[in-house]
A and B are shown apart, each in its own frame.
Chain A
Amino acid sequence: MATGLITVYLLILQAAANLNKPVFYGLVAALALFVVIATARKPQNVLDFFRSLKMAASVLIYFTIAVIIGTLILQNVEPARYLQSYSPGFYKFVKLLTLVDTYHSVWFTGLVLLLNLNILICTLNHLPIKKKKIGFFLIHLSILIVVIGGSISAFFGVKGYLNLHEGDVVSEFQLTQYNQLLDQKRNMGFQLRLDKFEVDHYDPDYRVYVYTRPDSKDKFGMPHSLKTTENAEYPIKKAHGTLKILKFFPDYAVREVAKPADTGPGAVKVMLHQGEHSQEAFFFDTAGDDRFLLPDQQGMIVFKWDMPKNPSAAVSEQKLLTATFPDGSHRLIPVQEGKSYPFTADSTLKIGRFIPSFSIDQKSKQIVSAGSSPDNPAIELIFSDKKTGKTTTQWAFANFPDFTHGKTLPGNATIRFTFVPTLKGKPIYIISADGQYKKTENGKNFEKGKLENNRLTVGNRIFEFSDFMPHAEKSKEELNRSDNPNNPVARIQWIQNDQKETRDLAASDKTATFMDNGRVALLLRNKDDTPKAYRSYVSVLKDGKVVLKKKVQVNSPLAYGGYYFYQSNYNPKDPTYSGISVVRDPGVYIVFLGFLLLTIGGILRFYFKM
């Protein structure tokens, strides 16, 4: 009963502390006065109260309830978060009694003090220390020692934080309280330098996750996590199907290659070597695929199966339109600006402007060219109906053959624009299948001859030709570029009711792949993206000289100058950042002493009869 009254008084004190400081101090003074008077007038009653087990039990109960409350109410989060979960009225109440920071509140501290006072007086009451009571004394004294140690830590300890980037040298840290950064700084008396920060990751382990549900209206349950072992078959009982892994590419890519064929243009494989870097490509002896413009337009390489006698024709610029009609027929029309060409029986095609690098000016919304380099060749096509005279204008883009504006063209044709560039003022090399080359500039022959080992050197680039194919076709080849998971793709097969469906799952897919009418969902994801470990390599400097080097990791702090430095945090977006918390704790050994005495006391009390 009395303890209950005390607790209520403590809560009132808390409210006062939050509302009106003078009232608070007044109430504290009133309490002190009350205690003094009561002790003076009825010392025995007061003593009996403080050493009674009833009081201890009551305080423990209130203490326990207080601890429980702190686990039910959010502690020390932003006001916005409180208002998300609580009504404004409740939030005000909770703030009034400092329930938002229960364990550091006045009333909680008061309860703890009360408990310790009770232990102290109770222990003193059991003096003198006799052999058979040694366990009791050790246990209770040790608790007092732990609390004293903890108080020393709280009052005389220092806590801070360092936000460091690689290379930073600091001599002071920012103070913190209850995980909040304060504005104050503390000088350490020495310097700390972050030499290096590194994060270890777990090896990538891509898994196919299979989610199942009885019906597409239901929610998905826990997935199956399947390893991407080739040819592994996993029966998924609940979905009545089996998932088979056909192939796994850590770094999937598709490229166009030339494959020998019975018909088709000639082709050649070329390896471009630049310094340490090598790249493979193919030339076809057809318009558009027969040349390669060097970066910065420093030159051009052209491939022709047979070396042309007159190079200018071979290297001239061409604008080609390929019109494909619904009946499958197609026409190749070489065009020039300003000229007109018959298109279908009822229509004519006139060529308007040609823009080498199509772009739209943001301000004037006009079509302009972003440069003379043919980065985005576009041609204006003006179709006119012979009978009505109506015109339809469309731009065709060499780099975006599928972009059609949605317009219907005469004859329901689709048009593809191929731009074959040429180069003025810079050398053009023509290579033929017999290993000959001709170097020409502005149409004038400079050099010709045979390539040495089928290699052509232009500046710091070496072109190596091999696999000359008299007839070849374009073929798409899928490959695994490397063992690094840059673009993981899993080719799987879902087998259900004797039917097999093959799908490719990419780790970059944002949504799942659904099978069996939405009853099964598949995802390819890395099992674990969290770090395995992270550490800071630091140097301690005194007067400019390195006195200590340490690898600071979680669970392995640096101790120097009375401070302990703990690896606290890292930033996944900034690999040079390291968050280090700093602690100076004068009370720690006292607390550990208390722990030791508590352990010994417990063993003596329970296991030995003295």
Chain B
Amino acid sequence: MIALIDNFSRISTMLTGLICIYTIAFVLYSISLFMKENSTVYTLGRFSLFVGFIINGWLIVQRWMEASRPPFKTFYESLVFAAFCIILVYLVLELIRKVKLVGVGSILLALGCLLFAVVKVDVEIINLPPALQSGWFIPHVVIYFIGYGALAVSFATGIMYLFFPDAITLDPSTRKGRFFTNALGGEIVDLEAFTHQLIIVGFTFLNMGLLTGSMWAKFAWGDYWFWDPKENWSLITWTIYLAYFHLRYVKGWRGRKAVVFSIIGFAAIVFTYLGMSALPTASMSEHVYTSQ
């Protein structure tokens, strides 16, 4: 916490601005939940979110230019990219359906990433080791982070489902029903099914990330799997989601059970992404972020 406050004097003005804009968007989206469906508040919220998204993207481009390399090496750099991917997934989702409630959750998650980025801000721009100077670096990381983005949004919708499991049964003419109709873009959608669809997308990207990682390892070091802690945890995450799909499709798991399982999967994602330095075997890995 102290680190968070201390580091605010170190970060760029643009990042501070971004955090402010996302916070404004969060507030506007939250207020819009209680207003009419297409209120001005909502429009303003969408506008500020979009502006924030552009700034988020610009931060990445700026860092890329300053460092003369893709900005995916350190905690700070990847967290800014993670926030970007979460909002990206949400904005694509919003084009299909104006699920404001999901927006609230997604912006919150993106803010969480950015605040953690402030805690982990880089002292200086470090150089890429030879191992990461490869054409595979960008696709492998981008694919994984888009997957993370989709699964993060699925986590948000999953939590919402757990709080309001019977939202789908609501009568749209009641107050609560009207709230959810508004919050979910004009029709009360099944949050559980929604979560599932997001997990499908996220899992597809996880798959491709796993495979690109293996192929890259083969071309760079001669083997596609090194039983490296990060690789192992990405495998663990993969098997958890794998189990989720089997339990759902074969055993017919739905509702609460399924969502809780997917949340365990998301916990594994967070640990795989951020928790590697906690492992006793961390020092043996190329994958552990150099946090300063």
Contact = CB atoms under 8 A, between A and B. Distances in A.
Q: Is this pair of chains taken from one and the same complex?
A: yes
Interface of A: 53, 56-57, 60-61, 63-64, 67-68, 70-75, 77, 85, 102-103, 150, 159, 202, 207, 221-225, 237-238, 527-528, 530-534, 553-555, 557, 564, 566, 568, 581-583, 585, 588, 591-592, 595, 598-599, 602-603, 606
A73 B281 contact: yes
Contacts of B129: 530
Nearest to A534: B130
A120 to B, nearest CB: 16
Interface string B243-280: 10011001100000000000000000000000000011
A555 B123 contact: no
Contact of A533 (B133, B233, B242, B292): B133
Interface of B is mostly: helix
Contacts of A85: 280
Given A57-B243, A67-B232, A554-B220, 7 more contacts: A61-B243, A68-B232, A71-B279, A71-B281, A73-B280, A74-B281, A595-B215
Contact of B123 (A75, A77, A224, A603): A224
Contacts of B204: 602-603, 606
A53 B247 CA distance: 8
Contacts of B220: 554-555, 557, 566
B105 interface: no
Interface of B: 3, 6-7, 9-10, 123-124, 126-127, 129-131, 133-136, 200, 204, 207-208, 211, 214-215, 218-225, 227, 229, 232-233, 235-236, 239-240, 242-243, 246-247, 250-251, 279-281, 284, 292
Q: Which of A68, A85, A554, A603 has the most CB of B within 10 A?
A: A554
Q: Which of B124, B126, B239 has the most CB of A within 10 A?
A: B124
Given A533-B130, A533-B133, A557 B279 contact: no
Given A71-B232, A71-B233, A553-B130, A581 B221 contact: yes
28 contacts: A53-B251, A60-B239, A60-B243, A61-B243, A63-B239, A64-B240, A67-B235, A68-B232, A68-B236, A73-B281, A77-B284, A202-B127, A221-B3, A222-B123, A222-B292, A223-B123, A527-B124, A530-B129, A531-B130, A532-B130, A554-B130, A557-B219, A564-B222, A582-B222, A595-B215, A599-B207, A602-B207, A606-B204
Nearest to B126: A528
A527 B134 CA distance: 23
A159 B133 contact: no
Q: Which of A71, A74, A207 has the most CB of B within 10 A?
A: A71
A368 B233 CA distance: 70
Contacts of A554: 130-131, 133-134, 220
Contacts of A224: 10, 123
Contacts of A557: 219-220, 222
Contacts of B135: 555
Contacts of B211: 595, 598-599
A159 B218 CA distance: 13
Contacts of A582: 222
A502 B284 CA distance: 43
Contacts of A591: 214, 224
Contacts of B124: 207, 225, 527
A161 to B, nearest CB: 11
Contact of B246 (A56, A530, A531, A534): A56
Given A64-B240, A528-B126, A602-B204, A568 B232 contact: no
A56 B250 CA distance: 11
Contacts of A598: 207, 211
A103 B129 CA distance: 28
Contact of A64 (B200, B214, B239): B239
A566 B233 contact: no
Contacts of A534: 130
B213 to A, nearest CB: 11
B284 A75 contact: yes
Q: Which of A68, A77, A555, A595 has the most CB of B within 10 A?
A: A555
Contacts of A533: 130, 133
Contacts of B233: 71
A64 B134 CA distance: 31
B85 to A, nearest CB: 20
A349 to B, nearest CB: 61
A105 to B, nearest CB: 11
A72 B222 contact: no
A592 B218 CA distance: 10
Q: Which of B9, B222, B223 has the most CB of A within 10 A?
A: B222
A75 B285 CA distance: 11
B222 A75 contact: no
Nearest to A568: B221
A555 B127 CA distance: 17
A67 B268 CA distance: 13
A461 B9 CA distance: 60
A14 to B, nearest CB: 17
Contacts of A606: 200, 204
Contacts of A566: 220-222
Contact of A225 (B123, B218, B225, B229): B123
Contacts of A64: 236, 239-240
B204 to A, nearest CB: 6
A75 B239 contact: no
A555 B134 contact: yes
